[in-house]
Amino acid sequence: MTSRRICDVAVVGAGMVGAALALDLARRGFEVALIESRAPAPWRAEDEVDLRVVALAASSIGLLERLDVWPSIASARASAYRRMRVWDALTPGSLGFDAADEGASALGYIVENKLIQSALWQAVERQSAIDLRCPARVVATEIVAAGAADARVASPESRLLSFDDGTQLKARLVVAADGADSALRGLLGIAAHDRDYAQRGIVAHVSHERAHEATAWQRFLPRATLAFLPLADGRSSIVWSAPNAEAARLLALDDAAFRAELGAAFDFRLGAITAATPRAAFPLRMRLADRYIAPRFALVGDAAHVVHPLAGQGVNLGFRDVAELAGVLSEARERKADFAAETNLRRYERRRRSDNAISARAFDAIQRGFGSDASAIAALRGAGLALVDRIAPLKRFFAHRAAG
C-alpha cells in the first residue's frame, strides 16, 4: 500500500530530543510528523528509579517549561542540586559551585531519562498538530519536486520518506533525531568520526551513611572519573568511568566488595556505602558528524554529536539543538521565506556545530588531562582547580557554561 501526504517537518526519532523538537515546532504553528519505531515504556512512580539519569541544566529546564512539560516532571521525581564539588584524588586542589552565589535556587536537576521521555511522549500524544507514526521505520529517502499543490511557502522541492510498510511521506524538511547510530544519517551519507575512550561507564544507585546535601560530587581518579548525583529519595546515582579491564573487574565484584571499593574511591565523602542496586555499564565514546545538514535535512542530538558523560552535558547539548533549530525555522517562516532552504539551515549548522564541537573537545581534553597519573600533570590540574575556585569571573564563566 502507498500513501502520500506532505507536512512541514518530519522528525525521525521520538527520544527526548526528537519529541521536544516536534512539540516545539508544533507549538510554533508547524505541521509536524513524528516517526518512531516503538513507543517508550511508561514511567510509573512505583517503579525503581531508572538507572539512566541526566543532569538538566537551566537552559534545558527553560525549554521544558516552554513546552509545558516541566511541571509534571518536577512534581514527580526530579532532584534539585544546589552545589557541585569537584576534586582530584592525586592533588589538594578542588573546585566548588553554589547556586546561592548566582542568586539561584538550584544549579540544575537530576532526572530519570524515562521520566522526561514519558512526559514528552504524553504531551506529543495530546498535540493535534503532530502526526505521530509509531511503529514506523524509514528505509529510504530522496529529494522530490514538491508540486504546485504543496507550495504553501516557496518550496521548490521536498524530501520523500519511504517506510517499511510501503507507505510514504513528503516533508519540506526532515530532521534526524534517531540516536548515535542514526540510520537516517547513514542513508544521507553523512560521515561521523569517533574517539573510542576504551572505557565503560558503570551506573547504579547507592545509599550512604550521610545525606548527599543536594550536591553533585565528582572525583577525578587515576585513569577514571567518579560522579555521585543526588536523587530525590536521598540516594545517589553513580557514574564510574573506568578503563574496560578495570570496569569488567568492578562489575564482577560481589555487592559488599563493590560497595567497599566505591566508598574508598569516593574518599568516603558521604560515609560508607550501605546499599547498591544491580550495576549496568555502557561504552564511552565521542562521535561528531562531519556536517549537520543536507538538502531538506538536518541532524539534532546524538545523531549529530555524542560526548563524554563526565560533564553530564549530552542531553543538554541536544536540547540546545532543539531551541536553535526551532528558532531558526520559525524566524524564516515569519519572513515568509523557505524555512528549509540551505541558506537557512546553514545558520543552524554554523551555530550548533561550533558549540557542540567546542564542548566535545573540551570534555575530551578534561578527560585526557584528568585521566593521567603523571605527577607533573596532576600538579598542574590541581593548581588549575584551585585557581578557578579563587577567581570569581573565571568561576562564574564555568558555572554559566554548564548552565547553558
Q: What is the pLDDT of residues 143-156, one digit of tens each?
A: 998 665 454 545 57
| Residue 35 shares a structural domain with residue 134 | yes
Average of per-residue pLDDT across 108-133: 96
What is the 3-state secondary structure of 19-62?
HHHHHHHHHCCCCEEEECCCCCCCCCCCCCCCCCEEEECHHHHH
Strand-pair partners of 87 = 94, 219
| Residue 85 shares a structural domain with residue 101 | yes
Cell of 17: 530530543
Average of per-residue pLDDT across 203-212: 98
Cα-based distances in Å from 40 to 14, 26, 63, 159 = 9, 20, 21, 27
| Residue 109 shares a structural domain with residue 205 | yes
Chain centre distance of CA 33:
22
pLDDT at position 396: 56
Domain count, the chain: 2
Task: Determine what percent of the chain falls in helix, strand and coil, rounding each to the nearest 5.
Answer: 40, 30, 30
pLDDT at position 238: 97
| Residue 222 shares a structural domain with residue 360 | no
| Residue 123 shares a structural domain with residue 173 | yes
391, HSE (Cβ side, Cα atoms, 13 Å): 10
Residue 66 lies in a domain: yes
Average of per-residue pLDDT across 124-141: 97
Residue 187 lies in a domain: yes
Counting residues of the chain whose pLDDT is more than 70, the rounded percentage is 85
Strand-pair partners of 170 = 6, 160
Residue 123 lies in a domain: yes
Give the domain CATH number at 14: 3.50.50.60
Q: Of 155, 164, 153, 150, whose CA–CA distance to 35 is shortest?
A: 164
49 pLDDT higher than 90? yes
Average of per-residue pLDDT across 194-202: 93
Q: How far apart are CA 160 and CA 173, in angstroms?
A: 9
Q: Of 6, 27, 7, whose CA–CA distance to 322 is shortest?
A: 27
Parallel/antiparallel/unpaired status of strands 32-35 and 6-12: parallel
310-357: pLDDT as tens digits: 656 789 999 999 999 999 999 999 999 999 999 999 999 999 999 999
| Residue 261 shares a structural domain with residue 315 | no
144-196: pLDDT as tens digits: 986 654 545 455 789 999 999 999 999 999 999 999 999 999 999 999 999 99
Contact 389, 95 (CB under 8 A): yes
Range of the domain at 391: 53-113+197-285+374-403
Residue 46 lies in a domain: no
Q: Residue 244 — pLDDT band, cuts 50, 70, 90?
A: very high
| Residue 280 shares a structural domain with residue 294 | no
| Residue 133 shares a structural domain with residue 10 | yes
| Residue 234 shares a structural domain with residue 203 | yes
pLDDT at position 188: 97
Cell of 36: 518512531
Residue 106 lies in a domain: yes
| Residue 281 shares a structural domain with residue 202 | yes
- pLDDT, greater one: 87 or 393: 87
